[in-house]
Structure 1
Amino acid sequence: MIHVLHPEGRKSSPHPKLCVIKKDQNEVSTSRLCCLSYDQAHIKFPIDYPYSPPTFRFLTKMWHPNIYENGDVCISILHPPVDDPQSGELPSERWNPTQNVRTILLSVISLLNEPNTFSPANVDASVMFRKWRDSKGKDKEYAEIIRKQVLATKAEAEKDGVKVPTTLAEYCIKTKVPSNDNSSDLLYDDLYDDDIDDEDEEEEDADCYDDDDSGNEES
């Protein structure tokens, strides 16, 4: 049973219910608010994470060039870090241990907004998307499927008690500008005080030497 929020997901998710972690700490269920829809997904982390990539699967029915019928996402960042010239991917585009939940979610959202039609996971969706794109929206078959899916996700959101935003302003998160960090100034002040103390000690030592020199004068 899902019961606790994932800390990284909390930072990258616009709604507190949109990213939760299961008891085994290796599986994360997420939901995405994008294009005014409410899409649920499942991320499973391997035992050797972060050295191996997690798997990302949408639980919501998705019609997209880079999503398989079963919901698996085809994206370079989730591919194992091996050198495979046949894939057409650069090693730098694949998974590496510096990636995290936030970068995964950002990459998937970017892919949803800008499909990669050169390496489709769903050929039919890719062809349909290209027709819609090349016709500049006149071919409405792709857009109509997406519209129906969005309406279906809104019904699911209502069941989960989530309010799907209807405007860009509602979708964006308002954040406060962080206050200036004074730690560097404090560090500078400490170092400055230390320098002053060192100078005072040097002056005191010099005075002592002057007193000792008086004994070397001729009587």
Structure 2
Amino acid sequence: MAQQQMTSSQKALMLELKSLQEEPVEGFRITLVDESDLYNWEVAIFGPPNTLYEGGYFKAHIKFPIDYPYSPPTFRFLTKMWHPNIYEVRDICSDSLPPSFLPPRTILLSVISLLNEPNTFSPANVDASVMFRKWRDSKGKDKEYAEIIRKQVSATKAEAEKDGVKVPTTLAEYCIKTKVPSTDNSSDLLYDDLYDDDIDDEDEEEEDADCYDDDDSGNEES
């Protein structure tokens, strides 16, 4: 039976997914919620070392619209999150995400940067924003915000153990890039059928001098 012809948005997402699987973003693991649905991605986020989120294992869904990239995706955490830019329903404030025409790789990097460097100018959670500013401005002496994050990080350890995931806690572990093995060859076969020409790899050469932007605003106080 002939496979159904893919739309332009599906082709774009197939390319992006393959790129992320071959050269993963540090701190993330990407899978499809359903192998037959390219519009719904499941993301596992590892908290960056040397931040309040170190050792955390946070799950989220990215849902892409049918007309992607002309409309932006939505990003919703499945894990309970207390953060200035995350609504209580766990959606990330759209103003905090990059424009829709940027690739998922950039969106994912923006999300992990947001954990470390919240945007308090347009908060989705005002109480969390006020609490974060108190913690930041007091240089860690006001511990209310930090204690809430630590409790949430601790609560995710059981989920990581359940999923059989070892969460990186050092920069060396966090920055290592390994190719994610495909659990279903059908995606690769479909990809090969659709794209006979060699894919231009110029976009895959990104600067990796720093694993992530290490900013004092998200570092724990000793």
- Mapped pair 1:20 → 2:31: yes
- Give how far 1:139 is off: 0.7
SS at match of 1:12: coil
Q: Which residue does 2:44 correspond to in 1?
A: 31
- Give how far 1:40 is off: 0.4
Give the TM-score of the pair, scaled to structure 1: 0.65
Kindly tell me the number of residue pairs found equivalent between the two proteins.
Answer: 155
Q: Which residue does 1:196 correspond to in 2?
A: none
- Give how far 1:6 is off: 3.4
Q: Could you give the per-residue CA deviations for residues 63-106 of structure 1, whole angstroms, max 9, x where no partner exists?
A: 0000000110014364xxxxxxxxxxxxxxx5242x11101101
SS at match of 2:90: coil
- Structure 1, unpaired ranges of 5+: 79-93, 176-219
The whole-number CA distance in structure 1 between the counterparts of 2:177 and 2:24 is 13
- 2:99 aligned residue (90, 95, 100): 95
SS at match of 1:165: coil
Which amino acid letter does the alignment assign opposite residue 102 of structure 1? R
Which amino acid letter does the alignment assign opposite residue 152 of structure 1? A
- Mapped pair 1:114 → 2:148: no
- 1:7 aligned residue (15, 18, 22): 18
Which amino acid letter does the alignment assign opposite residue 147 of structure 1? R
The whole-number CA distance in structure 1 between the counterparts of 2:69 and 2:121 is 28
The structure, 1 or 2, with the larger RCO (C-alpha pairs under 8 Å, 6+ apart) is 2
Kindly name which structure, 1 or 2, has the bigger radius of gyration based on alpha carbons: 1
SS at match of 1:6: helix
- Give how far 1:14 is off: 4.2
Give the TM-score of the pair, scaled to structure 2: 0.64
Are residues 163 and 135 of structure 1, via their aligned partners in 2, closer, same or farther at CA, if it must alter by over 3 Å? same
Are residues 144 and 15 of structure 1, via their aligned partners in 2, closer, same or farther at CA, if it must alter by over 3 Å? closer
Q: Which residue does 1:131 correspond to in 2?
A: 134
Q: Which residue does 1:65 correspond to in 2?
A: 84
The whole-number CA distance in structure 1 between the counterparts of 2:106 and 2:19 is 10
SS at match of 1:25: strand
Are residues 60 and 96 of structure 1, via their aligned partners in 2, closer, same or farther at CA, if it must alter by over 3 Å? closer
- 2:73 aligned residue (37, 54, 58): 54
- Give how far 1:15 is off: 7.3
Structure 2 counterparts to residues 182-201 of structure 1, below 5 A? none
Q: Which residue does 2:64 correspond to in 1?
A: 45
The whole-number CA distance in structure 2 between the counterparts of 1:65 and 1:127 is 8
Q: Could you give the per-residue CA deviations for residues 144-189 of structure 1, whole angstroms, max 9, x where no partner exists?
A: 01101111111110100000122222211168xxxxxxxxxxxxxx
Which amino acid letter does the alignment assign opposite residue 158 of structure 2? A
Are residues 51 and 149 of structure 1, via their aligned partners in 2, closer, same or farther at CA, if it must alter by over 3 Å? same
- Give how far 1:110 is off: 1.0
